[in-house]
Amino acid sequence: MMSQVPLYKALSKIEGFGAFASRRIEKESQIAVWDGPYAHELPNDASAKYYLYVRPHVYLVGFGGDYPESFINHSCNPNSKIVWNGDIAILVAIRDIEQNEEVTFDYGSASSLSPEG
């Protein structure tokens, strides 16, 4: 996982913690790239909540903790989306995102648009 723009983790009005823009992010900018690690089944512990579905029995596993990208919350009115390049997930801004605004994406759309989802 690699941030393309600086994000920070903070309390969210949506749920728990969220990822927020450290600076203004322009529409169509890459925000983050998830390129592994991969798992064939989800763990049976708290880390199981930090994942992205790729295809049946393949998940991109988030890192949690100090990685703000693991705390990007769902929104039905998101400001970013997942674009797939094979099994690599790229988070892209679908509109300008202001500094200190929470970064969100639609979890349902991310799964339905995965390579074999």
Name the DSSP class of 43.
Answer: -
The whole-angstrom separation of Cα 24 and Cα 5 is: 9
The whole-angstrom separation of Cα 8 and Cα 103 is: 10
Question: pLDDT at residue 31 above 80?
Answer: yes
Burial state string for 70-97 with b = 16 or more CB within 10 A and e = fewer than 16: bbbbebeebbbbbeeeebebbbbbeeeb
pLDDT tens digits, one per residue of 44-87: 776 666 777 777 888 887 766 678 888 899 999 999 999 988 88
**What structural domains does the chain harbor?**
2-112 (2.170.270.10)
Q: Token pair for residue 63?
A: 């890192």
